[in-house]
């Protein structure tokens, strides 16, 4: 129960981060918002690592994978923050939920895992769900929706790299290195896009890093009490606070088609998780 509470709490924190990002996107460049997410993550996480987890500050055994992981998440965040600057939080997150489907589709190639017919069918059905959300031919497809799908694709690759790092590096070290990679890359870009924030915008930019840090720390703590495979389906709970924030603060509420597509994507993802737990190729 403790693992579930920690995990669900994390999925409440991260949509709050997204809400601040969407609000700031009206006046601050998306790249600057992304930079703040990483810069302030390092500001908040580094002191925690030094004072409470100093023994975990051991250099990574796989620096190349850590760099790739950081780059993937940095690019995924850029695409996601861009998408929510134009479309609703719930639509962007729903389309990004294709990430587990991407992992399943690519795991035979990148992880050497067997994927049976039933899981392939679940992947195809999940992608159909994303098409229902976008409804090509019925509504105009915009770049923001494509960016949200791109977020899911990049996050799928990110999850694959994370699996490879799971048995080598401490999760807290991985969190810190991911923040450093994004912070360094973002800092290089900042002189070309920087817009001077107001005091309130600085506070919201720092809040983005704060809620990102708290959310990921809660996820790491939840994994101390239960396996990732058992907690993965709870990640879909993120859509609940996401919809609430979108409705209360941005007057966005999902359409019926959105809910239908979301249900299909979530059902496909949960089915895939269950098949992976059973470890059957069919």
What is the percentage of the chain residues whose pLDDT exceeds 90?
Answer: 45
Q: Which of 169, 145, 178 is nearest to 258 (CA)?
A: 145
Q: Which residue has the higher pLDDT, 122 or 281?
A: 122
pLDDT at 230 over 90: no
* Assigned token pair, 222: 């939840």
Confidence of residue 17 (pLDDT cuts 50, 70, 90): very high
- Tens digit of pLDDT for each residue in 127-138? 888 888 887 655
pLDDT confidence of residue 66: 85
Long-range contacts of 29-32, Cβ-Cβ distance < 8 Å, separation of 24 or more? 29/193, 29/194, 29/195, 30/78, 30/81, 30/82, 30/85, 31/78, 31/186, 31/189, 31/190, 31/193, 32/190, 32/193, 32/194, 32/195, 32/205
* Assigned token pair, 127: 């992608």
For the segment 164-182, the average pLDDT, to the nearest whole number, is: 78
pLDDT confidence of residue 282: 45
Confidence of residue 281 (pLDDT cuts 50, 70, 90): very low
Q: How far apart are CA 212 and CA 218, in angstroms?
A: 10
What is the percentage of the chain residues whose pLDDT exceeds 70?
Answer: 91
For the segment 64-88, the average pLDDT, to the nearest whole number, is: 92
What are the b/e assignments for 170-184, b being 16+ CB within 10 Å? Answer: bbbbbbbbbbbbbbe
For the segment 168-195, the average pLDDT, to the nearest whole number, is: 87
pLDDT confidence of residue 177: 85
Confidence of residue 2 (pLDDT cuts 50, 70, 90): confident
- Tens digit of pLDDT for each residue in 83-117? 999 999 999 999 998 888 888 888 787 777 777 77
Q: How far apart are CA 265 and CA 262, in angstroms?
A: 5
């Amino acid at each position: 129960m403790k693992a579930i509470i920690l995990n669900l709490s994390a999925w409440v924190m991260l949509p709050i981060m997204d809400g601040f990002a969407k609000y700031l996107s009206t006046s601050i460049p998306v790249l600057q918002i992304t930079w703040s997410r990483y810069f302030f993550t390092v500001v908040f996480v580094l002191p925690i690592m030094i004072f409470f987890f100093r023994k975990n500050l051991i250099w990574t055994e796989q620096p190349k994978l850590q760099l790739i992981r950081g780059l993937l998440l940095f690019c995924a965040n850029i695409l996601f923050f861009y998408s929510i600057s134009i479309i609703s939080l719930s639509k962007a997150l729903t389309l990004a939920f294709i990430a587990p489907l991407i992992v399943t589709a690519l795991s035979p190639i990148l992880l050497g895992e067997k994927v049976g017919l039933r899981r392939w069918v679940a992947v195809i059905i999940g992608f159909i769900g994303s098409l229902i959300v976008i409804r090509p031919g019925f509504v105009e497809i915009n770049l923001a929706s494509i960016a949200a799908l791109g977020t899911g694709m990049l996050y799928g690759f990110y999850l694959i790299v994370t699996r490879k790092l799971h048995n080598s590096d401490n999760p807290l070290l991985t969190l810190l290195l991911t923040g450093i990679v994004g912070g360094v890359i973002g800092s290089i870009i900042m002189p070309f896009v920087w817009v001077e924030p107001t005091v309130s915008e600085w506070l919201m930019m720092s809040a983005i890093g704060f809620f990102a840090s708290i959310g990921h720390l809660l996820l790491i703590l939840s994994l101390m009490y239960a396996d990732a495979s058992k907690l993965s389906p709870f990640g879909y709970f993120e859509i609940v606070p996401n919809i609430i924030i979108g409705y209360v603060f941005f007057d966005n509420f999902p359409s019926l088609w959105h809910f239908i597509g979301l249900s299909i994507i979530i059902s496909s993802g949960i089915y895939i998780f269950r098949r992976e737990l059973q470890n059957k190729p069919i």
